[in-house]
Amino acid sequence: MSLTFRHIALIGKHHSAFHSAPPAQARQVLTSLTQWLLQSGAEVFLEKDSAQQIGLDIAPALDIRGIAAQCDLALVLGGDGTMLGYGRQLAPHGVPLIGINQGRLGFITDIALNQLEARLQPMLHGEYEEDHRVMLHAQVWRGADLVLEAQALNDVVVNRGATTGMVELRVSVDGNFVANQRADGLIIATPTGSTAYALSAGGPLLQPSLGGLVMVPIAPHTLSNRPLVLTNSADILIELVAGRDASANFDMQSLASLLIGDQVKVRKSQHHAVFLHPRGWSYFDTLRQKLHWNEGGS
């Protein structure tokens, strides 16, 4: 049977993807995986920074732009944070990702190292579940000036300063005023992000195929201020009315400091991330295992 994916990128920075694993172990894992993929008939490329950080030259190295141009699949070794970062970068180019976790189940990295060959072999031959994930496009405006523009796969978060009190936010959806909210902040999350910060703030879990967005206040002053589930076509406008040292975070990786009157505009991105899972994968199986739900039943 011929390979569905012939040009494969391996991504995995040892300081994040391998956590406490020493560089020697990281090299061993990537070397073994590279050799196995080459024997399977694939052409393999290493993400440039990953290869440099662990001193590996067993395959050609490419930066993200090169991977987007030359590869039809990316294997990401690491946790969900690593997948989020590279998922954002590769989404505009339509490159699907497979997440390989180093022993701990993730929400989007669901193949363990000890299952690599058994799980990957059928996937490389077209036996997989394709999972499309909504992304967010956000802008920070200061009057007529665009301060920052970014994509987010998990969430956009407007937060109060670390040592200050609540912020006051004026929130509108599709041009309709919703409320002036006093809280520690506000989260706009995708279904992917509904299991992250939004979950810890009391938000609902959204099935990824739903495609909607969730707006979750962080420790609101008014307890009747509850999470809202919105359509994925919603245009959300958040204006900072009061509060010092506030900021806007995008997947907790991009940051913009906010001044009074600044506006954060959030809407669905035109791009989406594509994750591939082993055949038979279930979102609900992942929730049950990750959240330690009762596993009784048939």
| CATH code (residue 164) | 2.60.200.30
Host domain of residue 88? 7-126
- Helices 23-39, 116-124: crossing angle, 10 deg rounding: 40
**pLDDT score at 78:** 84
Residues 12 and 104 in one domain: yes
Residues 151 and 122 in one domain: no
Lowest mean pLDDT among 51-60, 68-77, 118-127, 222-231: 51-60
285 within domain boundaries = no
* pLDDT classification of 17: cutoffs 50, 70, 90: very low
Residues 109 and 145 in one domain: no
User: Residue 83 maps to which CATH number?
Assistant: 3.40.50.10330
Chosen domain end from 126, 154, 171: 126
Residues 264 and 180 in one domain: yes
Residues 193 and 80 in one domain: no
- Report the domain count for the chain: 2
Confidence check: pLDDT of 14 > 60: no
Residues 112 and 146 in one domain: no
**pLDDT score at 16:** 44
192 within domain boundaries = yes
Residues 164 and 218 in one domain: yes
Task: Please give the Cα distance from 137 to 26 (Å, whole number).
Answer: 34
Contact 101, 250 (CB under 8 A): no
* pLDDT classification of 197: cutoffs 50, 70, 90: very high
Confidence check: pLDDT of 296 > 80: no
pLDDT per residue as tens digits for the range 42-85 = 999 999 988 888 778 889 999 999 999 999 999 998 888 889 99
3-class DSSP assignment, residue 37: helix
Confidence check: pLDDT of 265 > 50: yes
Contact 72, 50 (CB under 8 A): no
What pTM does this model have? 0.91
- Cβ-based neighbour number of residue 162 at 10 Å: 7
Task: Please give the Cα distance from 96 to 145 (Å, whole number).
Answer: 35
Rounded average pLDDT over 202-225? 94
174 within domain boundaries = yes
32 HSE (CA, 13 A, CB side): 10
Q: Which residue, chain included where needed, has tokens 């073994």? A: 32
Task: Please give the Cα distance from 21 to 217 (Å, whole number).
Answer: 37
Residues 18 and 98 in one domain: yes
Task: Please give the Cα distance from 104 to 110 (Å, whole number).
Answer: 8
Percentages helix, strand, coil for the chain, rounded to the nearest 5?
A: 25, 40, 35
297 within domain boundaries = no
The per-residue pLDDT of the chain, averaged, comes to: 91
**pLDDT score at 261:** 98
**pLDDT score at 21:** 52
37 within domain boundaries = yes
Which residues are annotated as catalytic?
80
Residues 34 and 52 in one domain: yes
**pLDDT score at 25:** 66
**pLDDT score at 297:** 57
